[in-house]
Structure formats: C-alpha cells, structure tokens
Amino acid sequence: MPTALIADDEVALAEYLRTQLAELWPELTILPLVHNGLDALRLIDELAPDIAFLDIRMPGLTGLEVAAKLRDTAVAPHIVFVTAYDQYAVDAFEGEAVDYLLKPPGLERLQRTVAKLQRHLNTRHSQPATPSTDLLAKLAGLLQVAPAAPRLEWIRAAHGNETRLIAVDEVIYFEARDKYVSVFTNDGESLIRTPLKELLDSLDPARFWQVHRGTIVAVRHIAGTLRDFRGRTLLKLKTHPQQLVVSRAYLHLFKQM
C-alpha cells in the first residue's frame, strides 16, 4: 500500500487534504499530519513515505527546503507542493516536484494529481520523480502569468464618526450588508464600501476563506465548528462570540472539524 505524508502549518487545510485524498485514493495510507518542515523531514527520514505533500511556506523549514534536503537521498518521496502562491512554481519544478497545487485544491484538480502520482508509482519505485512533459508545459504557462497583485494589508474603514486604519491581521471576519461590508475586529465593527467579491480578490487566500456568499473569515481566528438544530455547520471563533454559518459550497474546508 502506498503511503503519504501531509505537511502544512494550516491545520484545516491539512485535514481537508487528508479527507479529499481518502475519498479519491482509499488505498493510500496517510501518516500523521505534521505542521512544520522539521517534523516533515524527520518523519520522511523515519517512515520513508512514497509521497510527500509539502506546504511551501511552513515554519522550521519551507517545503522547498525540505525537498532540497531530500534531493540526494537514496529513496526520496514523490513530492507535491501545496501552496497559495504560484510564484514558487519554478523552484518547485526545479525541485523535481510531481505536481504543484494551489490552495485549496478542488476535488477535480486533486484527482488529476492522484492520477499522476499513481502513474509515477507504477513505473518508478526507487528514484524521485522528474518533471513530465505536461508539467513542464504547465510551468511555461505559469511563467507567462503576470505577477500577482500585492495583497491587501490595511483597510480604511468608518467607525462611527471616525475613520480607522485597520491592519488585515486584526480582522476576524467580513460580512456583506446591503451597500456596505462590515469589518469585525476585537475593537468592534467598522464599515467599508468595497464589495465583498472585490475584497476577496485582494486578500491572501492562505489567510482568509470565504465560508458563505456574504462572509469571509480570517483562518487564524477559527476555533472549530458545530452543527445547529437545523443541520447547518457553524464556525466558532476564538475571540468573538458570533457564530458564522458555512454554506454548502464551502463545507469541504471543514469536514474534519
């Protein structure tokens, strides 16, 4: 049975990936999740998984640094990088990755990755994978993509009679309300006129998730989920009493919570 390691400092995303892989590839044995590069390298050394899903930005060692350390080992796992940033594509493929997934990968996209990994496992057993023709073609496409726009870091918002400058790190969640979007922080509620869709496009997808048509939440403020009497999934927040409804389209992000 093939084995796989998932290393991602975003716990919810790591759990999501494990759930999706279990559905798509029931024969795959997934090792305990790790959330930093040092633990990833240690478990790969100890347990020699066939596959490693590595987040590129992790504490300790980045996914690219983990891959670099594995490059000269006798039996390295097939590596798939999982990240929110497409600008690392060149480094990823130079690191002989089998694939490069942008977060959060959809089921169809992940299915293609599983198919590639299965082909590699069926044809190669002792050597790390090398980039295939279709991956190189994808890389060429990524290289032609214009650099990503800078992510939003500050928000100018109305709070009563004053205007506040709010760091996005302080935001717990955004909620669309008629002509305005409410910005919730530990200091209260402020208002902006930026449409929610436009706001979402300017936020870092690794830090903010849309969980409902009218709601975007900061991932680091999510404490967990619960079900109400109507069967809806609600998000509990770490420092705010409000519970946020998760619509069906985004339930896959929280299946293991």
DSSP character string of 55-111 = ESS-SSS-HHHHHHHHTTSSSPPEEEEEES-GGGHHHHHHTT-SEEEESSPPHHHHH
- Determine, yes or no, domain membership for 59: yes
- Specify the range with the lowest mean pLDDT, choosing from 16-30, 143-157, 183-197: 143-157
Q: Which residue has the tokens 């999510």?
A: 222
pLDDT digits (tens, 9 = 90+) for 149-186: 678 889 999 988 889 999 999 999 999 987 899 999 99
pLDDT at 16: 86
pLDDT at 107 over 90: no
The answer to whether the beta carbons of residues 233 and 223 sit under 8 Å apart is no
- In degrees and rounded to multiples of 5, residue 236 shows phi and psi of -95, 140
Q: Give dist(CA 111, CA 53) in Å, integer.
A: 14
pLDDT digits (tens, 9 = 90+) for 110-153: 999 999 999 988 875 545 444 455 554 554 555 454 555 678 88
> Are 194 and 246 contained in the same domain?
yes
- Determine, yes or no, domain membership for 207: yes
pLDDT digits (tens, 9 = 90+) for 217-228: 999 999 988 988
CATH number at residue 75: 3.40.50.2300
pLDDT at 143: 47
> Are 102 and 205 contained in the same domain?
no
Measured CA distances, 76 to 13, 50, 68 (Å): 24, 8, 10
- Determine, yes or no, domain membership for 140: no
Q: How far is CA 80 from the centre of its chain?
A: 13
Q: Give dist(CA 237, CA 224) in Å, integer.
A: 7
> Are 114 and 159 contained in the same domain?
no
Q: Give dist(CA 84, CA 102) in Å, integer.
A: 5
> Are 99 and 189 contained in the same domain?
no
- Determine, yes or no, domain membership for 213: yes
- Determine, yes or no, domain membership for 108: yes
pLDDT at 64 over 80: yes
Q: Cβ-count burial of 246 within 10 angstroms (0-12 exposed, 13-18 middle, 19+ buried)?
A: buried
- Determine, yes or no, domain membership for 129: no
pLDDT at 58: 83
> Are 116 and 36 contained in the same domain?
yes
> Are 40 and 108 contained in the same domain?
yes
Q: Give dist(CA 87, CA 165) in Å, integer.
A: 29
The answer to whether the beta carbons of residues 63 and 37 sit under 8 Å apart is yes
Q: Give dist(CA 73, CA 128) in Å, integer.
A: 9
Residue 79: domain span: 3-120
Tokens standing for residue 167: 């760091």
> Are 75 and 178 contained in the same domain?
no
- Determine, yes or no, domain membership for 96: yes
pLDDT at 105 over 70: yes
Please state the domain count of the chain: 2
Tokens standing for residue 207: 């830090």
- Determine, yes or no, domain membership for 72: yes
